[in-house]
Amino acid sequence: GNSVTQMEGPVTLSEEAFLTINCTYTATGYPSLFWYVQYPGEGLQLLLKATKADDKGSNKGFEATYRKETTSFHLEKGSVQVSDSAVYFCALRTEGNTPLVFGKGTRLSVIA
Amino acid sequence: GAGVSQSPRYKVAKRGQDVALRCDPISGHVSLFWYQQALGQGPEFLTYFQNEAQLDKSGLPSDRFFAERPEGSVSTLKIQRTQQEDSAVYLCASSLVTSGSPYEQYFGPGTRLTVT
């Protein structure tokens, strides 16, 4: 079946540090890949997405590249801010309007 | 415009009580999904509607869980005879279904259910 594995947290970084959150997936077919973010007290928000191999999704300084050969979609940001503190979820969806399959989430805390 | 809304935001139920959780999707969104998010876990799929038709309910954990969307808009997730293991955040998401759409799902804030 389809599944997503992401690095366990919590991750604590100082402001302006480099961030990587690893995500790998197993899927039948050709999935679309997503990163969602959940800020404290708020709902899930789509951060970025990629729909085919070698696509790079980017938003708010975050980036992730769809790597089919390594079945990975690692999230990176060059310089994190305190406001980036949240829980980040990697997810996939197979073709069509199908349910999302999520990883367990990684909590990021950025300290000033 | 208005996003997905859910009510109540918080619900405390005694074990054995029935609860009903409401989701108002974005106007015009055809598809509606329910997910369950246990503490410290990612959301897990429960059920999916396209208009009023329930196309997939494979994620419902037991026959105590029932969902409906009678007019193809508002949806209600009902849990009968709640158990402690039902304690979780219940998320609703809606999406458009159009040719070539990436089918982005927009999430509501969730209902946190605590069964005591």
B41 with B58: CB under 8 angstroms?
no
Question: What average pLDDT does this structure show over A21-38?
Answer: 93
Q: Which chain B residues contact residue A93 at CB under 8 A? A: 103
- Partners of residue A89 in chain B, C-beta under 8 Å: 42-43
* Residue B71 CB coordination number (10 Å): 9
- What is the residue-wise DSSP string for A18-77? -EEE-EEEE-SS--EEEEEEE-TTS-EEEEEEE-STT-EEEETTEEEE-BTTTTB--EEE
Tell me if A89 and B43 make a contact (CB, 8 A cut-off): yes
CA–CA separation, B29 and B46 (whole Å): 18
Strand-pair partners of A11: A108
Instruction: Provide the b/e sequence for A43-75 (b: ≥16 CB within 10 Å).
Output: bbebbbbbeeeeeebeeeebbbbbbeeebbbbb
In chain B, the N- to C-terminal Cα span, in Å, equals: 37
Integer Cα distance of B35 and B61 in angstroms: 11
Cα atoms found within 13 Å of the Cα of residue B61, Cβ hemisphere only: 17
The pLDDT of residue B1: 56
Q: Does the pLDDT value for residue B103 go beyond 90?
A: no
Interval B43-53 mean pLDDT: 95
Residue B111 is encoded by which pair of tokens?
Answer: 């209902």
In chain A, residues with a C-beta closer than 8 Å to the C-beta of B35 are 99-100
Mean pLDDT of the B45-74 span: 95
User: Mean pLDDT across the stretch A8-20?
Assistant: 95
In the stretch 41-60 of chain B, residues with CB closer than 8 A to chain A read: 41-45, 48, 50, 56, 59
Q: How confident is the model at residue A30 (pLDDT cuts 50, 70, 90)?
A: confident
pLDDT bracket for residue A4 (50, 70, 90): very high
CB-nearest partner of A89 from B42, B103, B109 = B42
The answer on pLDDT for B52 being more than 90 is yes
Across residues B85-104, what is the average pLDDT?
83
Of B105, B106, B111, B112, which to mutate for an interface test with A (greatest number of A Cβ within 10 Å)?
B105
Whole-number pLDDT of residue B100: 54
Dig out the tokens for A24 from the structure: 């790998």
pLDDT at A70: 96
Facing residue for B42 by CB, picked from A42, A97, A102: A102
Tell me the nearest-neighbour CA distance from A73 into chain B, angstroms. Answer: 17
Token pair 């503490």: residue:
B39
A52-110 confidence digits (pLDDT tens): 999 999 999 999 999 999 999 999 999 999 999 999 999 999 877 789 999 999 999 99
% of chain B residues with pLDDT over 90: 88
Residue B102 in this model has a pLDDT that exceeds 80 = no
* Residues paired with residue B105 on neighbouring β-strands, in sequence order: none
A31 Cβ under 8 Å from any chain B Cβ: no
- B99: pLDDT strictly greater than 70: no
pLDDT at B43: 96
Best A45, A66, A90, A97 member to test B by mutation, with max B CBs in 10 Å, is A97
Helix (H) or strand (E) run with residue B7 in it:
strand B5-7
